[in-house]
């Protein structure tokens, strides 16, 4: 059952709240372009079905995410003349699966890469990063 408090489950309310326009949808996904902010073409790709986080992705959405993401990012790159399109998945503020698609060209307002980290943040210890990689292998069914 869909939680009543989910903003993205009420798509008309979400469109109004984020000042966005829907530009594409199919039975499972919708793509909306935000009409404010410093990055032209900044978009939300979201599941129509309430899926709280990407770790909860399953079923038809899981099977179609790759092709849908490729189609949408390609359209954003072509439509905005961007060099690339960044894909961000956070989910902290709105627990409904949505991917932030962000067209980027050199010299625009977007700070990519390490710009997502707090200034001065040191690298995690190598042993911690290696342990995380090993744990992920196990979680994927490897040894």
Q: What's the full length of the chain, in residues?
A: 143
- The whole-number pLDDT of residue 114 equals 62
Residue range 35-64, pLDDT digits in tens: 998 889 999 999 999 999 999 999 999 999
Higher local confidence (pLDDT), 57 or 115: 57
Region 7-113: CATH code: 3.30.428.10
Using alpha carbons, select from 43, 28, 39, 29 the residue that is nearest to residue 76.
43
* pLDDT interval class at 2 (50, 70, 90): very low
Residue 78: exposure state from Cβ atoms within 10 A (0-12, 13-18, ≥19): exposed
Average pLDDT score over the chain: 88
pLDDT interval class at 123 (50, 70, 90) = confident
Q: Domain boundaries in the chain? A: 7-113
Q: Which residue has the tokens 């359209």?
A: 75
Distance of CA 93 to the CA centre of its chain: 13
Choice among 103-107, 117-121, 123-127 with the minimum mean pLDDT: 117-121
Q: Among all chains, which residue has been given the structure tokens 């959405």?
A: 61
- Residues 69 and 77 sit within 8 Å (Cβ to Cβ): no
Phi, psi of 66 (to 5 degrees): -60, -55
Q: What is the pTM of this model?
A: 0.83
Neighbours of 22 (CB within 10 A): 14
Q: With 0-12 CB in 10 A as exposed, 13-18 as middle and 19+ as buried, what is 59?
A: exposed
| Confidence (pLDDT) at 112 | 66
């Amino acid at each position: 059952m869909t939680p009543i408090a989910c903003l993205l489950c009420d798509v008309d309310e979400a469109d109004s709240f984020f000042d966005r326009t829907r530009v594409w949808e199919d039975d499972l996904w919708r793509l909306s372009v935000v009409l404010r902010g410093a990055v032209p073409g900044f978009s939300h790709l979201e599941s129509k079905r309430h899926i709280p986080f990407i770790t909860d992705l399953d079923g038809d959405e899981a099977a179609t995410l790759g092709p849908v993401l490729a189609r949408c990012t390609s359209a954003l790159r072509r439509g905005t003349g961007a060099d690339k399109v960044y894909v961000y998945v956070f989910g902290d503020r709105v627990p409904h699966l949505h991917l932030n698609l962000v067209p980027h060209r050199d010299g625009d307002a977007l700070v990519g890469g390490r710009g997502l980290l707090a200034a001065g943040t040191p690298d995690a210890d190598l042993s911690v990063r290696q342990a995380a990689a090993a744990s992920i292998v196990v979680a994927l069914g490897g040894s």
